[in-house]
Structure 1
C-alpha cells in the first residue's frame, strides 16, 4: 500500500511538472487524403509527382478512384484504404479529403464522396472544396489562354470541360467552367467567349450529344477570326496519344482552330492550391507566421525613416517590406520570400493613413476579394483601374491598416507641436495632410484629423493655442487641389496677421510638396512627420491582435480537439 501511494504521488508530481491537465485532450493531427481520378499511366504519373511534392510539406496520401468505381468493396477500395492507413500510421487523428477534381458536380466525385468514411478506419473525415472555387485555378486557365492568344479583341475563346453523365451534371459542370471563364475575362477582352461540356462516353446518348457539341463548335470555328480552344479538365491520359486532350484535338484537326493539348495539370499552381487548402485546414503555429508591410515609399531618407519604425518588429517576426501603392509584382516578391522562409500565414499591413486606403486593391491582389476595384480612388492616385495580377501563393492572409486612426497618434502630433511652440496663446497650428480624390474619402480623413485635434486639446499646453485646424490639399487631383491649396494659403495668411503660424506635416515622413504649395507665405513647418515609437507600437499591436486571432491558445486547441 505504501509503495502504491508513492507511485501515485510520483505520478502526480510528474503531471504537475508537465503542466498538462490530466484530462487534456491531445490536439488533433490532420492528415490529407488527396482523392484523384484514375487517369491511366501518364496522367497518374503527373498526379503522383504532384502529391509527392505536396507530401514534402504536409502529411498526405493519394487515393485514386476511377470512372468504374462501383462502391465500397470495388477494385478501388485498396487504393483508398491504403492511403487512409498510411495517414493513420503517420499519426493522423482526423482526415481532410482534398478532391483533385474541378467541380463538386463531377460524377466520379459524387459517387465516392459519401463513401470515403468506410475506408478511414474510424477516423473522422471532412472535405475541402474542389478546385474551381479558387482563383489559383483561374490563373492556370488564364496561363493556357495567354499561351495561345495574340490579339484577344479579334479572337474567339472556347473553354471545354468534360465528364457530364446527364443534362443536370452538364449544367452543373458548366457553371464551374463558367467561373473560370469569368476569371479569364477580367484580364482578356475577347470578341466572343463561351464554355461547352462534353459528355462522358458512358453517358446515355453521349455520342449524339457530343456530335451536336462538335457541330456547334465547328460553326464557330468557321467564322472569321482566330478561335482558341482550351481544355479545362483533368482527363484520361494513358499516354500522349491516348488522352482526352489528344482526342479533343483530333476532333478539329482539319480546322483553323488554335489549340494545345494542355489541361489543368501539370502546373505550379496545382501544388500551391494543395498547400493553400492544407493551410486552411491546419492549426497554425507562431513559427509559420510572417508579416508584409506596405508603406507608400519614396526617396531613401523617407524609406530609412519608415524602416526605423519597423525595425523593432524584426526580432519578433519574419518581415518583408512591399513599398508602393499596391504594386502586385512587389507584393508577390515579398510574399514569395516569406514562403521560402517557411511562412504559411501572413499579416499584411497597409501602412497608410486610413484603414480603407488601398484596401480594396490589395484585398483583390491577395485573393481576399473576388473582384478587382473598377474605379476606386479612395486613397489612390489617379492611376488606371484595371484588374491587377493576384499573388501566386499558398499563404493565407489577414490585414489591417490606418495608422492615423490610432488614438495614440495624437501623442506624436503633440510632440511635433511642442518641438516648435513657445507662446501658445499667440500661435495657430495647421495640420496639413495629403487628402483624397473623393469628397467622401476626404471628409473621412478630415474627421480623423479633427478627432486627433480634440485629443490634443486635452493637453494643457495645446489647450492654450489660439487655434488648431485640420486641412488637406488633395495632392494628386488637380481640380480639387487648386481649391484646397488656396484654402490652406488663405488660412496661413489670415492667421499670420495676428501671430505665429505653425504647420505640422500630417504625413508619415517629410513634407512632400507643401513647401512649393505654400511658397511666399510666412510660417514655420515641422517636417518630421509621424514616424515615432508610437507608430512602432501600432504595428506591434495590430500584428499581435491578428496573430492572437489566428493561433488558438493551448486551451482553445484542446477544445478544438474534443469530439
Structure 2
C-alpha cells in the first residue's frame, strides 16, 4: 500500500514538473509571450533637438516599454562612439525584464551614414535575446504625410511654384542614391495632389565625407539656379537635422544661406505629431495584442435607414464579441476617419477592415490608399486623390462576400421562396454591375460560380438559372443591359415558362421593379441581408485574420542583417499579401 502511495506521489510530482516545464517553454521559446521593449535609436541633435526627441519619447513610454539611445559623431574627442549611451539604453530595457528587443531607427532613410555606422555596435550592445530591426521612417506613409504638411504650409499656388526637397546624411554615391530614392518616393505624396512647375530632390553629404564640400556646394548652386528662374521657389529641408539652438539649426542655416533669394523655406521633419503616430504604429506592429485590442470596421455601401437597419441585424451578433464600428459609404474619408479614431480611443491597436462589397476588388484600391496600405492613389481618382487616414493602428482587411460559397445558400433560399414549378422556371440572378467591362465580366463569373453551387444541391432542376447585371449607374451601359434582361424574361415566358427574378444585391432590389415594369415575372426583392450566412461570412473572415494578427511578428531575423536586407525581406512579405511596395512594415494577412 505504502509503495503504491509512493509511486502515486512520484507520478504526481512528475506531472507537476511536466506542467511547469511546458509553462516555462511556452513562455520562453520564440513566439511565446516574451516581454518586448523598444530601443529607439536617434541622432544626437543638440540641446533643442534632443528636447524635441525627449518629448516624443516621454509620450511613447506611457504606452510602451522603451528607451532612447542617442548616437552621433565624436565631436569632442571623448565620446567613445556614444557607447555609454547605447549601453545605458539597453540596460534600461533589461532592468524591466525585456528579452525581445525591437530596434526602431528614428532616421529618415536606411541610407543615412550615421545609422549604418552604428548598426553593428547596437547589435553587439544587446548581445543576447531576440532582436528585430524595424524599418526607418521613409518606409511609412505617415512620413509622407509629414512632408505633405510641410509643403502645403508654404505653398500658395503650386502651378507657379518650384519645389525643392532637401535631404542629408550621404557619404558616398550609394548612400546618396538611397536617400534620394526615399525622398522621391515620399515626394510623390505631394505631386499626386499638387502639380508644381518643377520638383527637385537633392541630398547633402555629411561633413567629413570625401568631397563633401564640393558635393554640397553643387547642391547649393542647383537650389540658387532654381530660385533664379521665374516663379516662386519652395525649399523644404526634410531631414532630422541638428538643432543646438534656434540659430544653430538646419532651418537657421538654410535661412542664412538662401535668405537673399526668393525662396520660401519650409520646416524640417521634426517636430510633428505624426512622428509619435509612426512610433506607436511601429510598436503595434511588433507587439503581441490582446483580443480586446482588436477592433472591427465594416464598410458597406450604406443607404437609407431601412437599408442600414437591415445591415445592423447582420452585424449585431458580432457586437458582443468585438469592438465594431460601421462606416457606410464608398470610402468616405470623413466617415472612415471618424470610425478609426473612435476605435483608437477605445484602446484598439489592430483593426480588421471589411469591405462589405460584392467582389474583393470593389473599393479596394481607394480604401487601401486611404488607410496607408498602398503607395499609389487609386487609378479612378481623376485628379481628386483622397486624403489619407493617419492612424497608429495596424490594419488588415478583406472583402468580396459574393465570392464565398455561403452566398449560394442565401440565393437558393431566395429562389425557393418564390418557386412553384422549377422545371418550368427560368431564374435570373440580377446584380448591380460595374462600369468597367472586365470587372463586370468577372462579376458575372462569380455569380455563375454560385449558380454551379446551387445546381449541385437541387432535387428538381430549373429550366435555367442565369447571371445578369443591370449596370444601373451608367445610362448607356444600362440601356444595353436592360434590353438583354428584357429579352431573357420574354424568352423565359415562352412555352409555358415562368420567370423568377432574384435580387442579387446586399439589401432590397433597388430600381429593378421600376425598370422591368410591364414584363411578366415574379421577383424576390429581399436581397442578401438580413441572413445568418452573411454574419457567418463576417465571422469567418474576422477569425481568419485574428489567427494571423494576434501572434507577434516573427523573430527569426538575425542581428547581423543590414537595414537594406530587412527592408527587402519586409517588402517580400508585403507583396505576398497585396500591401504597398513602397510602404513596408512587417507581415500582413492576405486580403481575401
Match of 2:475? 478
* 517, 522, 525: which one aligns with 1:524: 522
Displacement of 1:135 in angstroms is 1.3
Q: How does 1:328-343 map to 2 (within 5 A)?
A: 328-343=333-348
CA distance in 2 between counterparts of 1:334 and 1:456 reads 37
* 307, 313, 318: which one aligns with 2:318: 313
* 471, 488, 493: which one aligns with 2:485: 488
**Contact in 2 for aligned 1:71/1:115 (Cα 8 Å):** no
CA distance in 2 between counterparts of 1:180 and 1:314 reads 39
Change (3 A) 1:517 1:108: same
3-state SS of paired residue (1:105): coil
**Contact in 2 for aligned 1:69/1:108 (Cα 8 Å):** no
**Contact in 1 for aligned 2:507/2:526 (Cα 8 Å):** yes
**Contact in 1 for aligned 2:193/2:383 (Cα 8 Å):** no
CA distance in 2 between counterparts of 1:311 and 1:24 reads 36
Number of paired residues?
A: 551
Change (3 A) 1:5 1:423: closer
3-state SS of paired residue (1:489): helix
**Contact in 1 for aligned 2:298/2:324 (Cα 8 Å):** yes
Change (3 A) 1:161 1:413: same
Match of 1:451? 449
* 49, 55, 58: which one aligns with 2:64: 58
CA distance in 2 between counterparts of 1:24 and 1:469 reads 54
Match of 1:130? 136
Match of 2:394? 396
* 179, 195, 199: which one aligns with 2:185: 179
- When structure 1 is superposed on structure 2, of 390-399 and 310-319 the one drifting more is 390-399
Match of 1:380? none
3-state SS of paired residue (2:50): helix
- When structure 1 is superposed on structure 2, of 350-359 and 9-18 the one drifting more is 9-18
Q: How does 1:2-13 map to 2 (within 5 A)?
A: 11-12=13-14
Displacement of 1:420 in angstroms is 1.5
3-state SS of paired residue (1:397): strand
3-state SS of paired residue (2:507): coil
Residue 385 of structure 2 is aligned to residue 387 of structure 1:
yes
* 348, 354, 367: which one aligns with 2:359: 354
CA distance in 1 between counterparts of 2:213 and 2:426 reads 84
CA distance in 1 between counterparts of 2:78 and 2:482 reads 76
Displacement of 1:424 in angstroms is 2.9
**Contact in 1 for aligned 2:109/2:179 (Cα 8 Å):** yes
Displacement of 1:55 in angstroms is 1.0
Match of 2:207? 201
3-state SS of paired residue (2:242): coil
- When structure 1 is superposed on structure 2, of 194-203 and 531-540 the one drifting more is 194-203
Match of 1:507? 505
CA distance in 2 between counterparts of 1:313 and 1:291 reads 9
Displacement of 1:549 in angstroms is 2.1
Change (3 A) 1:406 1:415: same
Displacement of 1:182 in angstroms is 2.4
- When structure 1 is superposed on structure 2, of 17-26 and 210-219 the one drifting more is 17-26
Change (3 A) 1:406 1:123: closer
Match of 2:544? 545
Match of 1:419? 417
CA distance in 1 between counterparts of 2:449 and 2:76 reads 68
The Cα offsets for residues 453-506 of structure 1, whole Å up to 9 and x where unpaired, read as 222223446x34333222111112222211111111122223234343221111
**Contact in 1 for aligned 2:111/2:169 (Cα 8 Å):** no
Change (3 A) 1:19 1:317: farther
Residue 294 of structure 2 is aligned to residue 297 of structure 1:
no
Match of 1:436? 434
3-state SS of paired residue (1:141): helix
CA distance in 1 between counterparts of 2:551 and 2:110 reads 31
CA distance in 2 between counterparts of 1:69 and 1:486 reads 80
Residue 109 of structure 2 is aligned to residue 103 of structure 1:
yes
Change (3 A) 1:209 1:471: closer
CA distance in 2 between counterparts of 1:476 and 1:322 reads 22
Change (3 A) 1:426 1:175: closer
- When structure 1 is superposed on structure 2, of 174-183 and 27-36 the one drifting more is 174-183
Displacement of 1:17 in angstroms is 6.9
RMSD across aligned C-alpha pairs, in angstroms?
2.9
**Contact in 2 for aligned 1:25/1:562 (Cα 8 Å):** no
**Contact in 2 for aligned 1:165/1:204 (Cα 8 Å):** yes
3-state SS of paired residue (1:306): helix
Residue 277 of structure 2 is aligned to residue 272 of structure 1:
yes
CA distance in 2 between counterparts of 1:189 and 1:241 reads 33
Residue 90 of structure 2 is aligned to residue 92 of structure 1:
no
Displacement of 1:34 in angstroms is 0.5
Displacement of 1:438 in angstroms is 2.3
